[in-house]
Amino acid sequence: MQPSPHTISLLLADARLPSGGHAQSSGVEPALLAGMPVADVPAFLRARARTTGMVDAGTAVLARHAALDCIPVAPIERAWAARTPSRAIRDASKDLGRGLLRLAGRIWPEVRSSLDDLDESPPRPLVLGAIAAHTGIDAQSLVRLTVYDDMACAVAALLKLEPGDPAHGVAMVLEACSSIEPHVSAVSSITSAHQIPAASAPQSEAWSEAHALTTRRLFRA
Amino acid sequence: MPENTPTRALRLGVAGPVGTGKSSLIATVCRSLADELRLGVITNDIYTDEDARFLRSAGVLEPERIRAVETGACPHTAIRDDITTNLLAAEDLERDFAPLDVVLIESGGDNLTATFSPALVDAQIFVLDVAGGGDVARKGGPGIGRADLLVVNKTDLAPYVGVDVPQMVADASVAREGRAVLALSRSDAASVAALRAWVLAVLDGHRRGTHVPQDPGPMAPHFHADEEHPDGGFVHSHDEKSVDQHQANAPHSHAQR
């Protein structure tokens, strides 16, 4: 018996999944270190979901198609990189992708073969897309999963960086995730790289670049 | 178990509470073995690279061979529940400086329950110090009870903090059911030589394939208060092999002493 695709989605969204996510803050630590007020975190999350979240979600959708159709993913990675101008953010995504692929390769060995035209550190959305293809996760669920995981990671980090009510953090995750609902249908139905949303977040990218050079930080990015 | 390839270094974890001298112990190991072994170090700080910088400034190893990983304020998670970041760092270090003999992985200072997953390290040292109090070794815990080596560090401070080192070592030996305990001071050459010999012996076992990583995870041997008992209670362990008054996994209460 195979686990249901829904169960796989739950597994991938679980913060306890041992793939290295606990050392990431989805850009929250860079923002707070740069002086962004804590009160702005909900707006920061909505902006991140709408920009880098949509880039990643669109990339994951295409990577899923590529794995299903057995076509190379390298052009998708290039399209993602072109839409992710900060090297620090690309590196963070590749760390996450490498950790996730390391785990996925143990559970679903075929995931690795779908990404074999990339190096050992594919960006996170490409690994998520390949896992989705091999475990039966549909494109809309994949879009929501890609955004949810990033938002949940941000709020888990926030609670370590700034004292706060954990229930408030949960509300923030739900608010940011629901803010992208109007776009889920469009992003989940793209079929070629030029359709990947190209919405960048220059201020957040600059904060991440500065963060990568600090010597006192709790999180990788 | 870590994927064991012939070229893979021995991965040696160093855990223990904050301030017990983990970085200093690693510096001591490097200083005494850097001439004959190819070493690398990974640090798990709370605040990134403080320990890495200490070790680099100690000048015991090329700075490039000392790397820091972030733990997201969870040093415990990074060495036990989600070891991904450390595994990737160890693999990168072994690839970039191949071949390495030993990779030392320093945990972020945590509490008495933090121990390494056997999927991350082949062997682990748990570090206590005399300044933390002579009774800590007796309190047990997975690291104290079952790490491959328990180090009682900073023995040179014992006279100043009123700790009886032989008694502390004896208590630790009881808590560990005879597993190795080493009283260490970096200014005591004989103790440093003993540490060096221990590392070399574990490395030899690793190379021969006779050393098996073990998980200190389960509770260490500990005392159960029992007023009905002639001794006021009994010591027991959760070791699978031990024959005991109750099943290792059965629920039971632990009276606080």
Residue B166 lies in a domain: yes
ipTM score: 0.84
Over residues B59-63, mean pLDDT: 91
Residue B191 lies in a domain: yes
Query: What's the confidence (pLDDT) of residue B74?
Result: 86
> DSSP string of A89-131?
HHHHHHHHHHHHHHHHHHH-THHHHHTTTS-S---HHHHHHHH
Query: What's the confidence (pLDDT) of residue B242?
Result: 39
Candidate from B48, B84, B87 with C-beta closest to A217: B48
B84:A215 CB<8 A: no
Domain check: are B233 and B197 in the same one? Answer: no
**DSSP structural state of residue B113:** T
Domain check: are B149 and B247 in the same one? Answer: no
What is the CATH classification number for the domain harbouring B52? Answer: 3.40.50.300
Query: What's the confidence (pLDDT) of residue B227?
Result: 57
Instruction: Name every residue whose Cβ is closer than 8 Å to that of residue B90 and which is 6 or more positions away in sequence.
Output: B9, B11, B42, B103, B105, B120
- CA distances (Å), A181 to each of A40, A80, A171, A175, A185, in order? 21, 21, 16, 10, 8
Count structural domains, chain B.
Answer: 2
Q: What is the identity of the amino acid at B93? A: L
Query: What's the confidence (pLDDT) of residue A12?
Result: 97
Q: Given CA atoms B20, B21, B22, B25 in this order, what sign does their dihedral have? A: negative
Residue B254 has pLDDT above 50, yes or no: no
Domain check: are B42 and B125 in the same one? Answer: yes
Over residues A23-46, mean pLDDT: 97
Residue B170 lies in a domain: yes
Closest CA to B23 of B78, B60, B65: B60
Place of tokens 């070791």: B239
Over residues A217-221, mean pLDDT: 91
The residue with greater pLDDT, A103 or B241, is A103
Q: What is the pLDDT of residues B122-143, one digit of tens each?
A: 999 999 999 998 889 888 888 9
Q: Which of A218, A219, A220 is the mutation pick for testing B, counting most B CBs within 10 A?
A: A218
Q: Given CA atoms A102, A108, A110, A114 in this order, what sign does their dihedral have? A: negative
User: Domain of B91?
Assistant: 10-208
Domain check: are B89 and B204 in the same one? Answer: yes
Residue B1 lies in a domain: no
Radius of gyration, alpha carbons of chain A: 16
The residue with greater pLDDT, B225 or A32, is A32
**How would residue B7 be classed by pLDDT, with cut points 50, 70 and 90?**
low
Query: What's the confidence (pLDDT) of residue B256?
Result: 36
Q: What is the pLDDT of residues B166-209, one digit of tens each?
A: 999 999 999 999 899 999 999 999 999 999 999 999 999 999 98
Alpha carbon distance B22, B195 (integer Å)? 13
Query: What's the confidence (pLDDT) of residue B5?
Result: 57
Q: What is the pLDDT of residues A147-199, one digit of tens each?
A: 999 999 999 999 999 988 999 999 999 999 999 999 999 999 999 999 999 99
Residue B235 lies in a domain: yes
Query: How far from chain centre, in Å, is Cα B197?
Result: 16
Mean pLDDT of chain B: 85
Domain check: are B91 and B115 in the same one? Answer: yes
Chain B nearest-CA distance from A95, in A, is: 8
- What is the tally of helices (H) and strands (E) in chain B? 9, 9
The angle, 0 to 180 degrees and rounded to 10, between the axes of the packed helices A41-50 and A202-211 is: 110
Q: Which domains does chain A have, with CATH numbers?
A: 30-192 (1.10.4190.10)
Would you say how long chain A is, in residues? 221
B72:A217 CB<8 A: no
Residue B213 lies in a domain: no
Query: What's the confidence (pLDDT) of residue A1?
Result: 81
Residue B237 has pLDDT above 80, yes or no: no
Q: What is the pLDDT of residues A40-60, one digit of tens each?
A: 999 999 999 999 999 999 999
Query: What's the confidence (pLDDT) of residue B2?
Result: 58
Chain A nearest-CA distance from B116, in A, is: 14
Residue B2 lies in a domain: no
Residue B232 lies in a domain: yes
Q: What is the pLDDT of residues A120-146, one digit of tens each?
A: 999 999 999 999 999 999 999 999 999
Contact residues, chain B to chain A, C-beta under 8 Å: 46-50, 53, 69-74, 77-78, 81-85, 87-88
A97 — contact with chain B (CB < 8 Å)? no
- Contact list, B72 vs chain A (CB under 8 Å): 22-25, 157, 160, 218-220
Domain check: are B165 and B227 in the same one? Answer: no
Q: What is the identity of the amino acid at B234? A: F
Domain check: are B144 and B166 in the same one? Answer: yes
Residue B252 has pLDDT above 50, yes or no: no
Chain A nearest-CA distance from B136, in A, is: 29
Domain check: are B53 and B82 in the same one? Answer: yes
Would you say how long chain B is, in residues? 257
- Contact list, B49 vs chain A (CB under 8 Å): 215
Chain A nearest-CA distance from B211, in A, is: 25
Domain check: are B52 and B112 in the same one? Answer: yes
Chain A nearest-CA distance from B118, in A, is: 15
Q: Which long-range contacts (CB under 8 A, 24 or more apart) does B3-9 make?
A: B7/B94, B7/B98, B7/B99, B8/B94, B9/B38, B9/B40, B9/B90, B9/B94, B9/B99, B9/B100, B9/B101, B9/B102, B9/B103
Residue B220 has pLDDT above 60, yes or no: no
A16 — contact with chain B (CB < 8 Å)? yes
Query: What's the confidence (pLDDT) of residue A215?
Result: 83
User: Please, are residues B75 and B107 in contact by the beta-carbon 8 Å criterion?
Assistant: yes
**How would residue B216 be classed by pLDDT, with cut points 50, 70 and 90?**
confident
Query: What's the confidence (pLDDT) of residue B229?
Result: 64
Q: Which of A17, A19, A22, A26 is the mutation pick for testing B, counting most B CBs within 10 A?
A: A22
Half-sphere exposure for B32 (CA within 13 Å, toward CB): 20
Query: What's the confidence (pLDDT) of residue B235?
Result: 59
Domain check: are B93 and B52 in the same one? Answer: yes
Mean pLDDT of chain A: 96
B82:A25 CB<8 A: no
Q: What is the pLDDT of residues A79-98, one digit of tens each?
A: 999 999 999 999 999 999 99
Domain check: are B175 and B245 in the same one? Answer: no
Over residues A13-18, mean pLDDT: 92
Which helix (DSSP H) or strand (DSSP E) does residue B228 occupy?
Answer: none
The residue with greater pLDDT, B217 or B54, is B54
Residue B225 has pLDDT above 60, yes or no: no
Q: What is the pLDDT of residues A175-185, one digit of tens each?
A: 999 999 999 99
The residue with greater pLDDT, A60 or B238, is A60
B72:A160 CB<8 A: yes
Query: What's the confidence (pLDDT) of residue B114?
Result: 87
Query: What's the confidence (pLDDT) of residue B140?
Result: 83
Instruction: Name every residue whose Cβ is closer than 8 Å to that of residue B164 and which is 6 or more positions away in sequence.
Output: B134, B158
Which helix (DSSP H) or strand (DSSP E) does residue B126 occupy?
Answer: strand B123-129
- Contact list, B71 vs chain A (CB under 8 Å): 22-23, 218
A218:B53 CB<8 A: no
Q: What is the pLDDT of residues B70-92, one digit of tens each?
A: 998 888 899 999 999 999 999 99
Domain check: are B137 and B95 in the same one? Answer: yes
B82:A102 CB<8 A: no
